[in-house]
């Protein structure tokens, strides 16, 4: 709304929304499960329970995280399903 009257929306915005409509609903862009720099916990495997930082996605639903191991930061690649986000 623009005060008490409906706001004007540019035609290109309406066209974009119509292109994304499926069965009466607008499909929103999918949010990645993790964001760069977000703290994550490993839930399975040899690093189960370790907390690291999400570094990025790799092919085939794999993710790269940064773990503090043996006194230094190591880049580790794991299955996306083996992690959970830690929300503060």
For residue 41, tell me if it sits in a domain: yes
Within-domain flag for 3:
no
End-to-end CA distance of the chain: 35
Q: What is the pTM of this model?
A: 0.61
Nearest to 78 by CA among 87, 65, 88: 65
Q: Looking at the domain assignment, is residue 34 inside a domain?
A: yes
9 within domain boundaries = no
pLDDT reported for residue 29 = 72
> For residue 54, is it within any domain?
yes
- 42 contacts: CB under 8 Å, gap ≥ 6: 48, 49, 50, 51, 52, 65, 67, 78, 82, 83
Give pLDDT, residue 76: 94
Q: Considering its fold, how many domains does the chain have in total?
A: 1
Is residue 52 a contact partner of residue 42, using CB atoms and an 8 Å limit? yes
pLDDT at 88 (0 to 100): 55
What pLDDT was estimated at residue 34?
Answer: 86
- Give pLDDT, residue 43: 95
Q: What pLDDT sits at residue 31?
A: 66
What pLDDT sits at residue 79? 93
8: in domain: no
Domain that holds residue 81: 30-85
Instruction: Report the CATH number at residue 52.
Output: 2.30.30.30
Ranges of residues in the chain with a pLDDT under 50 are none
């Amino acid at each position: 709304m623009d005060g008490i009257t409906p706001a004007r929306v540019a035609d290109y915005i309406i066209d974009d929304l119509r292109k994304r409509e499926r069965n009466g609903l607008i499909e929103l862009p999918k949010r990645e499960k993790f964001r760069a720099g977000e703290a994550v916990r490993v839930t399975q495997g040899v690093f189960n329970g370790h907390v690291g930082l999400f570094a990025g996605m790799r092919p085939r639903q794999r993710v790269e995280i940064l773990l503090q191991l043996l006194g230094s930061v190591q880049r580790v690649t794991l299955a996306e399903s083996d992690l959970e986000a830690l929300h503060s």
